[in-house]
Structure 1
Amino acid sequence: MLLHVVHETTYAYAPAVKTAQHLMHLRPSSRGGQRVLRHGLRISPEPARCSESVDVFGNTRCFFGLQSAHERLQVIADSVVATSAAAPPGDSLPWEDARERLRYHRGARYDPAAEFLFASPYVPRHQDFIDYARASFAPRRPLLDAARELMARIHADFSYVAQATDASTPALDALALRQGVCQDFAHVMLGCLRSLGLPARYVSGYLLTEPPPGQARLVGSDASHAWVSVYLPAERGPGRWADLDPTNDRASGEDYVTLAVGRDYSDVSPIRGVIHGGANHTLHVAVTVAPLDGPPPTIADPNDKEHP
């Protein structure tokens, strides 16, 4: 599938920002069954410097600096991505065996997936996560089966409420609330898996959504998305990652676009930075995900509350 993704971010500042340094994760990843065919960035005002690099997790990130005063910052990332459905993951080891293969002992072969076993800024390892996850992780149950049931339980037990949390809400708070958004559902699932000693990583990206029957696809009506990738060790050789989406209770497919992977949201936030000035600001984000060969989208009305 060919997908066209436009991610537009606009900040309005009062008073003006004097100087700023920003870091972005807005270039889709070329890994697995996904290929980036085209990617462009438009930044206004024009940055004094702009450069790309690869972070420790293999994501492409962009750094830019602004050295002149500005009351508005706009960043538009425009990408065309070829996606394909992942191959079925097949059988998996019992979850206890999978955990044991990642446990450190002298002379063990290093597995890079072990980097995703540990606590991270938004996702601690905690007994509360173990208590919630235990119902899905019966003795000797295959890891993938248990992870799928955990995903389904989070989907059933938690309510999607946009105002219940914000970008900095810790996973333990989301677990207690049983509310949140896709970021929170992913953080809770990560906390459950890691607290059981199982590697899992946070995935940021986009999901193609279909407009209601008879309605046009709206520009800017979509949003960023987040899900979880759980590591499935193999009997021999390297293991594989399986992407699971607790918000929608399904595995990822060709309608998903991966931006970046990390330990949690703090590693892969779309834009973050440091500014001098701009004590007050407003933020507007508009995302469009559309099939490249589909009908042209209609411009969304920013005042339409059904399409924030």
Structure 2
Amino acid sequence: MAAPTPRSAESPRQISYRISHQTEYHYSEPVAACQNQIRMQPVDGGNLVCHDTLVRIDPDPNSWDEHSDYFGNLVTTFSIESIHTALRVVVESRVTVTKPVISDAEALIPWEQALREQTGWLNPHIEEHRYRSPRIVPSDSFAAYAGESFAPGRKIVEAALDLTRRINHDFRYDSTATTVDTTTEEAFGLRAGVCQDFAHVEIACLRSIGLAARYVSGYLRTEPPPGKERLVGADESHAWLEIYAGEELGWLGLDPTNACLVSTDHIPICVGRDYGDVSPMRGVVLGGGTNTLKVSVDVAPVEANSAPASTSGKDAGESSLGKP
């Protein structure tokens, strides 16, 4: 998960990116068969347009299926039924991200109005994000923490950003403090963790006062120190959240790891109730002994009108997804 990264004062209106996400497993013993799901392919929606996506898998899968899950995320399921000692999955995409625009009128909406506009049977896909999920359980403790930002009548954008900044200030970014299985309550008590924990805690706070909030996984463009070249493969997966801020504004992205509103440095890939809905890769193997995992992510800005990645010549281990 990405560590805090200093953000520029003003984001450009629109940025196009080439993204490469490479996952490699090496096994101490032969694997007889495996079945996996990946959620690494961007889809059109919100402030993102996906121009093309290419998936390569080695060894070649024996079966391959693509579908959209309940939340609209693109999922590839594949199985390998031959002996292998390593597995390599590469997902390459080209996307364009547009900076969200908040009008003066939208910025003045009180948070109680946003709460009223997200309830009821007409908004089932919004209201479901107001309640507990497997990894996030609302509580009085989370509500009390959120209440310091969401005073009566306070504007939704102002209150949400204040909560985001307070979590950033009060919590320590520490990759050794938590694991992928650390509960949200434990991370809240530790006041430490990584971006997954920061996002879970803020979602728990928002849901505890009745507001809809959902988990977002994706990528964050990192900026090298002044005078240094960017390192290829040094970018990482990142996590943030979105709050439903009313009918006019819709879903508003918040990044508590970096104390900011989401903009063109953030590239969304999947949304869900919590991390359990959007983990990039999951699966089962038969055999394999112990394994080592290596993940490399590269996020490179490109010209918006540059040529798309090739999507020709696909076979069992290569598929073009998204827009042609």
Q: TM-score, normalised by structure 2?
A: 0.85
For residues 225-249 of structure 1, the C-alpha deviation after alignment (integer angstroms, 9 at most, x for no partner) is 1111000123xxx761100111111
Q: Is the 8 A contact 1:204 1:227 kept in 2?
A: yes
Q: Does residue 126 of structure 1 match 2:139?
A: yes
* Structure-1 separation of matches of 2:72 and 2:123: 18
Q: Does residue 193 of structure 1 match 2:206?
A: yes
Aligned to 2:40: 26
Alpha-carbon distance, 1:290 to partner: 1.0
After superposing the two structures, state which structure 1 stretch, 189-198 or 278-287, moved more.
278-287
* Structure-1 separation of matches of 2:85 and 2:265: 37
Q: Does residue 154 of structure 1 match 2:180?
A: no
* Structure-2 separation of matches of 1:103 and 1:114: 6
Three-state SS of the structure 1 residue aligned to 2:211 is coil
Q: Is the 8 A contact 1:159 1:178 kept in 2?
A: yes
Q: Does residue 255 of structure 1 match 2:265?
A: yes
Alpha-carbon distance, 1:111 to partner: 4.2
Q: Does residue 233 of structure 1 match 2:249?
A: no
RMSD over equivalenced CA pairs, Å: 1.7
* Structure-2 separation of matches of 1:113 and 1:86: 19
| Amino acid of the structure 2 residue aligned with 1:249 | A
Aligned to 1:305: none
| Amino acid of the structure 2 residue aligned with 1:122 | R
Aligned to 1:175: 188
For residues 125-152 of structure 1, the C-alpha deviation after alignment (integer angstroms, 9 at most, x for no partner) is 1122112111111112122211110000
Aligned to 1:79: 93
Three-state SS of the structure 1 residue aligned to 2:181 is coil
* Structure-1 separation of matches of 2:25 and 2:40: 16
Partner of residue 61 from structure 1, selected from 60, 75, 88: 75
Alpha-carbon distance, 1:278 to partner: 2.0
* Structure-2 separation of matches of 1:144 and 1:49: 46
* Structure-1 separation of matches of 2:131 and 2:57: 36
Q: Is the 8 A contact 2:27 2:291 kept in 1?
A: yes
For residues 115-170 of structure 1, the C-alpha deviation after alignment (integer angstroms, 9 at most, x for no partner) is 21111111111122112111111112122211110000001011111111111211
Partner of residue 91 from structure 1, selected from 104, 107, 113: 107
Alpha-carbon distance, 1:281 to partner: 1.1
Q: Is the 8 A contact 1:122 1:169 kept in 2?
A: no
* Structure-2 separation of matches of 1:243 and 1:100: 19
5+ residue gaps, structure 1: 295-308
Three-state SS of the structure 2 residue aligned to 1:254 is coil
Percent sequence identity is 42
Alpha-carbon distance, 1:92 to partner: 5.1
Q: Is the 8 A contact 1:122 1:168 kept in 2?
A: no
Q: Does residue 216 of structure 1 match 2:226?
A: no
Alpha-carbon distance, 1:99 to partner: 2.7
| Amino acid of the structure 2 residue aligned with 1:282 | T
For residues 90-125 of structure 1, the C-alpha deviation after alignment (integer angstroms, 9 at most, x for no partner) is 235422333344445xxx534421121111111111
| Amino acid of the structure 2 residue aligned with 1:259 | I
* Structure-2 separation of matches of 1:29 and 1:59: 7
Three-state SS of the structure 2 residue aligned to 1:173 is helix
Q: Is the 8 A contact 2:107 2:158 kept in 1?
A: no
Aligned to 1:10: 24
* Structure-2 separation of matches of 1:287 and 1:2: 16
Q: Is the 8 A contact 2:102 2:249 kept in 1?
A: no
* Structure-2 separation of matches of 1:239 and 1:248: 22
CA distance 1:110–1:292, shift in 2 (3 Å)? closer
Alpha-carbon distance, 1:190 to partner: 0.4
Three-state SS of the structure 1 residue aligned to 2:223 is coil
Partner of residue 197 from structure 2, selected from 179, 184, 188: 184
Q: Runs ≥4 in structure 1, deviation > 6 angstroms?
A: none
5+ residue gaps, structure 2: 1-14, 305-324
Aligned to 2:283: 273
CA distance 1:170–1:100, shift in 2 (3 Å)? same
* Structure-2 separation of matches of 1:23 and 1:40: 15
Alpha-carbon distance, 1:255 to partner: 1.9
* Structure-2 separation of matches of 1:171 and 1:132: 14
